[in-house]
Amino acid sequence: MKTSSFLGGVLAIGLSSLNAIVAQDFASHGIYTEPVTGITFFASEETNGTITGDGEFSTVSWGGFTFGVALPPDALSRDTHEYIGLIIGSTPTGQGGWSGIVHGDDYSAGMPNHLMLLAWPTGNENQIATSFRYSPAYQYPVPYRGSANLTQIYSNVNETHWTLVYRCQNCLLFDDPAQDSFNASTSKGTFLQGWAQAYVPPTDPKNPLSDFEQHNNGMGEFVIQVQSATHVSYSDWATKTATGPIATGTTTATATISSIPVPTGDAYDYIVVGAGAGGIPMADKLSQSGASVLLIEKGFASSGRWGGTLRPENHWLDGTNLTWFDIPGECNRIWNGGTAGVVCTDTDQMAGCTLGGGTAVNAGLWWKPNPMDWDENFPAGWKSSDMAGATERVFSRIPGTDHPSMDGQRYLQSGYDVIADGLANAGWKYVTANDAPSEKNRTFAHAPHMFSGGERGGPMATYLVTANGRSNFHMWLNTSVERIQRDGGHATGLDVVAFNNGGRVGTVKLAPKGRVVLSAGAFGTPKLLFRSGIGPTDQLQVVKGSSDGDKMIAEKDWINLPVGYNLNDHLNTDTVISHQNVSYYDWPAAWLTPIPSDKDLYLSSRSGPLAQAAPNINPIMWEEITGPDGKVRSMQWQARVEGSNRIPNGISMTLSLYLGRGEVSKGRTTIQKGLNMLVSTIPYGDPNDLAACAQAIDNMVAILSKVPGLTWNLPAPGVSGADYLKSVELSYANVGSRRANHWMGTAKLGTDSGLTGGTSVVDTNTKVYGTDNIFVADASIFPGQVTTNPSALIVTASERAAELILALPV
């Protein structure tokens, strides 16, 4: 049998009888009996088709892809940890490739913390290599060390496809030693499986432990219907084994990171952990006082100004002081192949672990704070009147611009023009956003960015420059802080290790009256507190049972605070419109093949499309909606010229609705045995929040439906906002499309101390309750969500925190 005939015939006909139950399952499903083995599978097929973009949640795969599963007959009555699998992978170029399965559960089939199975033809006749991999975050996976075991039953390879039938024992049990053990629950009736393909073969196809490149031929999820996958013949099928040689592998030696010992005689008045939106301004303001300040950053240099080197492989930026972080038009590189070495590898969410943090990798949106963000969320001492001075200082240094091109022109305005006309005709008011920060109801604007001089700018180009000019300021890159050394509630130093080449290793000391300021972000700061014995007891017990156990502070000195709770994020809902006047600009292609005239204009004068943020972000619109609970919620619409949710690029625009200030949903982040951070409770889903979002969608649909020639793709005509929200899954499995990555709140600032049953981790001076010299200044202190993208507010909060810390008696 030729697999290509199978894909084009029997399976395509047989997989139309069952429908998916989640929005991300775009496969056809049905029952298929593999003819050589006689094993019957519940099968899921992605048909042959052209992949666009990165192929996320693809409806097709080049050459097609099929996964089948057979389960024991009692899988509905008890949880089984094994199955018999079928993979029919594609090698459409005839040059090899790989296919992969992520073993999910009823909650998620995301890459982090789940067992991955990769398989590919070795080039030796019908031989297929298989490899179990694991990753605690969205990072390169390593060999899995859990109890899973695979037995090959049958394999076949031809020029364009290959087939593997296998038994997978303990593959629905996730027990790598780096994680807390859990399993898929087949008794619940359904569970999720992820899939991905690449048409580029692994580096060494004959080695199951070979390195490989990221998927480029589709990815997505399948819903496994347990009842359809169970078979009374399972035990007979499970005894089958393959004939012929099975590929075995050897592990490649792990690269050694070079490190520099921490100087034994040095001590600092202030140590700031994390060089992002909170840490850079904090270090600058503290060093301005004359105190000795050490700023420690886990990642490497991003901007060329600070020695960054990440440039296009075809060298068009060689000879400049620019990297992709510096060029506004390359800002979405992190979503298009630019994650290696840049994103944090210890969290299941997307975050920048490089110099500048989020301000190095985001779109640079730069909003003067809406006064209500302080007045509604924060206690006394942090109201808008208290924040006025900090706001003025921030915006005097980073004023932002809504004309980022240095020639003063706005480029690529077709999408803006279509939407702005509709809004104006509906009576919405155009504002210059940072001249009117409180006007956030039925208003719209051109987006202001932190950019300056046609480059990214922001804290790295301002606060860090002045700090670096002082002899009392020091900065270590490539260095990860493991834990705070403390004597009771008093920090004495920090244990550090090299994260990249050139990082420091050892214990860096605080001066006798020194202080620590944590600015590692909404996930990094809780992680460091947990590892330092500060947080809920359940989380400290996890750390105690990890590889950190013998280094952890004694249990009698643990400080029980609600660290990790109060997690919040803008709930994102993507909608899509189309209009013939909209024109797509290929931003991802600008990485290697920028339009020559645009490249030359940018390099010569910092002007043109590349001086603006990708992908044509504009306009930004706001509305306030009162929910059924009587609470007013701010809505920010962020438009961009690109398709999404299977609507192709071309004439389409994605309008992302962010639910902001007034959002009441809260989540939690927790630490795992492998010391990676996880969003264990997603911060979305309160019915009143969703009702307000539904109303906002209905309002925008009504307004833009009056624009001549405009088509609403999502929601489709006649679909209400409430019904559309029901169709867009709100779960961990779909968190990638519902998050805005504006994570906040995990070390909440407030007057109700967590030591006495309250909800706050830090006091109004940003000092951690129960300590005398540990402070937090980053997104994690925000009690609630804000109106806009938060970068400028985090910088402003850091300015205020520095002011308060310096005013405290030493």
Q: Are residues 100 and 231 in the same domain?
A: yes
Q: What is the pLDDT of residue 55?
A: 53
Q: Are residues 300 and 228 in the same domain?
A: no
Q: What is the pLDDT of residue 53?
A: 53
- Please identify, among 183, 211, 237, the residue that sits at the C-terminal boundary of a domain: 237
The tokens describing 449, both together, are 């960015």
Q: What is the pLDDT of residue 243?
A: 75
> Phi, psi at residue 395, to the nearest 5°?
-80, -10
- pLDDT of residue 701 exceeding 70, the answer is yes
In a domain, 403, yes or no: yes
Q: What is the pLDDT of residue 135?
A: 84
Q: Are residues 70 and 214 in the same domain?
A: yes
Q: Are residues 213 and 341 in the same domain?
A: no
Report the predicted TM-score, pTM, of the whole model to 2 decimal places: 0.84
Mean pLDDT (the chain, rounded): 92
> Phi, psi at residue 481, to the nearest 5°?
-85, 125
Identity of the residue numbered 24: Q
Is 215 marked active-site? Answer: no
The tokens describing 310, both together, are 């990440």
In a domain, 629, yes or no: yes
Q: What is the pLDDT of residues 487-501, one digit of tens each?
A: 999 999 999 999 999
Q: Are residues 231 and 308 in the same domain?
A: no
In a domain, 258, yes or no: no
pLDDT band at 254 (very low <50, low <70, confident <90, very high): low
Q: Are residues 44 and 181 in the same domain?
A: yes
- Please identify, among 237, 271, 289, the residue that sits at the C-terminal boundary of a domain: 237
CATH number, residue 125: 2.60.40.1210
Q: Are residues 290 and 225 in the same domain?
A: no
Give me the catalytic one of 114, 161, 446, 742: 742
- pLDDT of residue 21 exceeding 70, the answer is no
Cα gap 332→614, rounded to integer Å: 6
Report CA dihedral (379, 385, 389, 391) to the nearest 10 degrees. 80
Q: What is the pLDDT of residues 288-335, one digit of tens each?
A: 999 999 999 999 999 999 999 999 999 999 999 999 999 999 998 888
Q: What is the pLDDT of residues 131-186, one digit of tens each?
A: 999 887 767 788 888 899 999 999 999 999 999 999 999 999 888 887 777 888 99
In a domain, 247, yes or no: no
Region 633-650 average pLDDT: 94
In a domain, 174, yes or no: yes
Q: Are residues 613 and 739 in the same domain?
A: yes
Hunting for tokens 């030696």 — which residue is that? 253
Q: What is the pLDDT of residue 699?
A: 98
- pLDDT of residue 110 exceeding 80, the answer is no
Cα gap 328→447, rounded to integer Å: 13
Element (H, E) at 722: helix 721-727
Region 689-700 average pLDDT: 98
Helix, strand counts (H, E) of the chain: 17, 32
In a domain, 182, yes or no: yes
DSSP code at position 447:
P
Hunting for tokens 């420091």 — which residue is that? 504
Q: 206 near 122, Cβ under 8 Å? A: yes
Cα gap 268→433, rounded to integer Å: 41
- pLDDT of residue 698 exceeding 80, the answer is yes
| Cα→Cα distances 345→197, 276, 303, 339, 475, Å | 22, 16, 20, 10, 22
Q: Are residues 722 and 604 in the same domain?
A: yes
In a domain, 255, yes or no: no
The tokens describing 204, both together, are 């060494």
Q: Are residues 229 and 287 in the same domain?
A: no
Q: Are strands 503-518 and 774-776 parallel, antiparallel or unpaired?
A: parallel
Q: What is the pLDDT of residues 208-240, one digit of tens each?
A: 988 888 888 888 888 999 999 999 999 999 998
The tokens describing 385, both together, are 């009147």
Q: Are residues 573 and 651 in the same domain?
A: yes
- Please identify, among 237, 255, 288, the residue that sits at the C-terminal boundary of a domain: 237
In this structure, of 51-60, 251-260, 317-326, the range with the lowest mean pLDDT score is: 51-60
> Phi, psi at residue 587, to the nearest 5°?
-65, -45
- pLDDT of residue 20 exceeding 50, the answer is no
Q: Are residues 793 and 692 in the same domain?
A: yes
Cα gap 547→535, rounded to integer Å: 18
CATH number, residue 408: 3.30.410.10
Element (H, E) at 495: strand 490-498
- Work out how many domains the chain is built from and give that number: 2
- pLDDT of residue 17 exceeding 70, the answer is no
> Phi, psi at residue 41, to the nearest 5°?
-120, 150
Hunting for tokens 């192949």 — which residue is that? 337
* Domain with 659 in it: 279-463+566-805
In a domain, 544, yes or no: no
Positive or negative, the CA dihedral 606, 794, 514, 531 is negative
